[in-house]
Structure 1
Amino acid sequence: MEDEGKWLWKTKGFFDCFNLCYQLTLAARETLTEESLTQALTHLFRKVPPLRMRYGRRDGDTWLREMAKEIVDFEVVPETTMRDMHDKLQHRHYDTWTGPLWCARLWPRPQSSLPDDELGFDRSRYPHAYTLFFGFHHGITDGNTNMRICGFFVQLLNDVLAGKSIQDEEQLGILVSDERTKKLLEERIANMEADPEAKQRALDDYNARHTKHSMIESTFKGTGDKEGRSLVLARDVDVATTSQFVKRCRTENVTVNSAFTALANVALVDLLVEGGLQQDTYSIRGDHILNARRYWEGDASQYLGCHIVPQLAVIVPTPRDIGGKFWEYARLVHADLKQKIEAGTALQDEAVRHFMSEKTVMETIFSCEFGVTNMGDVTKLVTEGGEHVQAVHVLRSVNLDGVPATCSNLCHTFRGRFTHVLSYNTASVTSEMAEKFCDRLFNQLSSVI
């Protein structure tokens, strides 16, 4: 007899090669027990639909379906490191046919592990520090869903510690398929099929932005590891500097995302020049991961799952010497990004791939210099915490060694701090290159605010 578990919908599983790791730092009034954590995580399992998902085979197709039984994969890891946990969770093998497709690990920390600048709460009232690592299979969640899950967990843990009654029937969000995005893609594909000239323009535009080589890989050929590993380099910008940066972006009429992209382009040019690539300008291709919900009709804020558009390629010529014209350059980046986001160019690119061979798609989609995924201010999603537990810090990483990618910049702001994580593939980017890139990026940031 077939085991229980509702069948939901077919899935292609494009994101099966990616695992995500979220690192949530907590400050607690009392010592957190394994029992209280397990209780909060069990409620999380019951109240968040994606966390009850697994895969199944049906009539020769892969489907998403509900788990047959309740399983919470949680451990306390007293002796570990940040790098070790990201490495383990990025490469975790989930039992896709049984579930769960996520896990949690608690690392007790000294209070000195908390950020040095202002926290927004009385540190003496919360003397116990912990880091909770969430591992997620990218097939069931995206950044928006994961940040919300972190926030759900903080609220649930506060309620557990306060002894409140928690009703598991009340679900936090709605799990939906990618049907809305598929419909938008099908409309664009149909329009191109009906208008060959429009189709050719879309193909030409795609090919112009999807060169089949990377300047990083050609300039630093042979410097990477034979067997690449996905490593993480994380940096925070303090509250005061973050505030200055955001204010300057507003003054210059660019978004923080556009300004960061411009900083990353300038930093990469410095690295390429040092590597021996001498040009007057550099066509830096950065690929931006967008939240597909922005293109859906109506209020999509409660929709959970993996809903991203991979990925928007943006190329802006970057001069070798930016001089004192950084913000002028940043406005060019902003104008190009804004135009493409508003025009739905990422959807157009995904539709264009319908007319290309799978081999060509794979060759072009990972040929960017770097990726950018900037979630903006996530404080409301993660929450600041409550009476018993405060959420102090959050960061995220993704494994890249399962694909021919170089590196990805994962950014967001939480409790007034801008956080940047560089996930990089050592097959293309060495740790020394990663350090130099980030040094130049943040030195440039300091100099332009």
Structure 2
Amino acid sequence: MATTGTCKWLRPTSELEHYFDEAQNINLYLTSYMVTLSSVAPLQDDHVRKALLHLYRKVPTLRVCFRLCEGTLWACEMDKEEIDFQVIEDTDPRKVAEDMMVRFNSFTGPLWRARLLRAREGIQCPMPELQAAFPYTRSLVLANHHGIADGTSNLKIVDLFLQILDDVIEGKTINDEEQLGEWDVGEETKRLESKVEAELEQDPEYLQSLLDETRRVYMMPVLTVQALSPPEGGEVKTKVMIKDLDKNTTKYFLKRCKEEGVTVHSGFTALLNGSIVDILEETGMKQEAYHIKELHTINMRRYWSGDTSRSLGCHIFLFANNVETATNWRENFWEYARTVHKSLRKNIKEHSSLKQNYIKSKLRGCSFEALSLERKSGRDYSSSNMGNLDSLVSTDTKHVRITHLVRAVGNSPDGWQHNFHTFHGQLNYSLCYSCHLVTEQTARHFVDQLFKNLESVI
């Protein structure tokens, strides 16, 4: 990477931003959003282009690139105004999302891209109740470098795009000086990290127990890799499978989770674990119980004080969770789900993401330097749950609405990534799987098994 340029130098990157810049060089952790736009009149390509240009001007993180300065990676503002937008002939947003999760040029930017799919005849609005008012539907796929945005920031950006697009169609003047928010380096997270690290260092016995436990978990086999033979000559690429739960079943599942005293995330995690056990059993692996190695995404803003609504950037951490899953998990599923729920709540309350990050740095040096090792240690899956999106995406726009949204994350080295949320009363799910570790047949079978199990427990 070059060390010169005429851009505006903003600040040194955070460790997390550096981590994601290193990761994206091997196509890891790039995010993609498949957005369905339903409109009153046929959507014009130029309207979308203009809206994206205004978005670039109004969102500081969309103008960012990364450059080296005397050996330190800095965040900079791009040399010139530029967006990476194309109108393409592809008609399958899933395939477009897969192809878009490839590295960006960090030095020049932009660190995001957008692809508008050509209009197709006969495509129905995903929300039947809006079909008459918004009869025209097209897909837009957005992808970004994870170092500039997490799910929270991305949804703010998607919602702002929708509002701008509606105003562009209306012919309104857009105020480009008004910014969506500020690019926050995450000072409160840094303070929490320092506090947790100091507490661990002051308790050597507890610190040693965490080091020992982390080593023990790393030595545990990744069961999905152990039992499922990787495809021969599989491409190192992430592919995506999408599944929507109908509104009635979504309603029953959410209601049942509440009645049983667990979050939707805990209930769905329990189903993921149970479904993995089903797949392992089918391969001939026979154990009384299985230790599934989970990895969960947490929004660090939840620990911050004050108003975080204007905080842009990437402020997520990951934490591992390991709960024993019995072969006969179905016999008392909701009791098992409560065990998962208790473990997840404990990890969140005790800042396990910060503790685990510090332990990894003690064992293997800075986390961004450990990417190759992380690929070898692995986990059975990682997950990202954004909860209910209904309060995050506008529903009162006049000319165009977002009627469906699916998220994807490129995680080729790690095997399985589960993304889910609810939107317009439906649970939207995507499985991102690595072609060199998982066959399409196995991935499809898993998704079928997962949703069959979901319906059986409600």
Q: Say which SS state the counterpart of residue 221 (structure 2) adopts.
A: coil
**Which of residues 169, 173, 188 in structure 1 aligns to 2:177?**
169
The match for 1:354 among 358, 361, 383 is 361
1:6 to 6, 9, 31: 9
1:172-217 CA deviation, whole Å, 9 max, x = no partner?
A: 1221113322222222222222331131132234334444531111
Superimposed CA distance per residue, residues 45-95 of structure 1 (whole angstroms, 9 cap, x where no aligned partner) = 01111101001111211111111211011111133423431122112x422
Percentage identity across paired residues of the two chains: 35
Name the amino acid aligned to 1:331: R
Quote the offset at 1:435 in angstroms. Answer: 1.0
RMSD: 2.0
The TM-score, its normalising length taken from structure 1, stands at 0.93
Residues of 2 paired with 1:302 and 1:103: CA distance?
22
Find the counterpart in structure 2 of residue 345 from structure 1. Answer: 352
Gaps of 5+ in 1: none
Measure the CA separation in 1 of the matches of 2:435 and 2:388: 29
**Pair 1:94-2:94 in alignment:** no
Using the alignment, how far apart are the partners of 1:8 and 1:351 within structure 2? 24
Q: How has the CA–CA distance of structure 1 residues 164 and 226 changed in structure 2, closer, same or farther, with 3 Å as cutoff?
A: closer
- The equivalent position to 1:295 in structure 2, one of 291, 297, 303, is 303
Q: Give the corresponding residue for 2:315.
A: 307
Q: Contact 2:125/2:136 (CA < 8 Å) preserved in 1?
A: no
2:124 and 2:136 in contact (8 A); partners too: no
Distance 1:370 1:111, change over 3 A: farther
Name the structure 1 match of 2:452.
Answer: 443
Q: Which amino acid aligns with 1:232?
A: V
**Separation (CA, whole Å) in 1 of partners of 2:307 and 2:372:** 33
Q: Aligned to 1:6, what secondary structure does the other structure show?
A: strand
Which of residues 71, 79, 84 in structure 2 aligns to 1:73? 84
Q: How far apart are 1:362 and its partner, in Å?
A: 5.4
For residue 53 of structure 1, what is the aligned residue in structure 2?
64
Task: Indicate if the aligned counterparts of 1:9 and 1:177 stay in contact, CA closer than 8 A.
Answer: no
Aligned 1:108-147 pairs, distance under 5 A: 108-110=118-120, 112-114=122-124, 118-121=127-130, 123-147=131-155
User: Could you tell me how far 1:124 is from its partner in structure 2?
Assistant: 1.7
Q: Does 1:331 find its partner at 2:338? A: yes
Q: Superposed, which structure 2 residues align to 1:243-322 within 5 Å?
A: 243-309=251-317, 311-322=318-329
| 380 and 225 in structure 1: CA distance in 2 versus 1, 3 angstrom threshold | farther
SS in structure 1 opposite 2:411?
A: coil
Paired residues of 1:102 and 1:137 also in contact (CA < 8 A): yes
Unaligned stretches of 5+ in structure 2?
Answer: none
Confirm or deny: 8 A CA contact 1:212 1:367 kept in the other structure: no
Structure 1 residue 426: deviation in Å? 1.7
Is this contact kept in 1: 2:383–2:419, CA < 8 A? yes
- Give aligned pairs, total: 443
1:284-343, CA deviations, whole angstroms, 9 ceiling, x for partnerless residues? 11110111111222222321101110x211111111122331111111111111111111
One-letter amino acid of the structure 2 residue matched with residue 418 of structure 1: L
Q: Does 1:15 align with 2:20?
A: yes
CA distance in 2 between partners of 1:226 and 1:434 (Å): 14
Query: What is the CA–CA distance in structure 1 between the aligned matches of 2:162 and 2:411, rounded to whole Å?
Result: 29
Out of 191-200 and 48-57, give the one that drifted further: 191-200
Choose 162-171 or 8-17, whichever is displaced more: 8-17
| Contact map agreement 2:91 2:118 (CA 8 A) in 1 | no
Seen in structure 2, the aligned counterparts of structure 1 residues 183 and 212 have a Cα distance that, compared at 3 Å, is farther
Give the letter for the 2:454 counterpart. L
Give the match for residue 226 of structure 2.
Answer: 218
TM-score by length of 2: 0.92
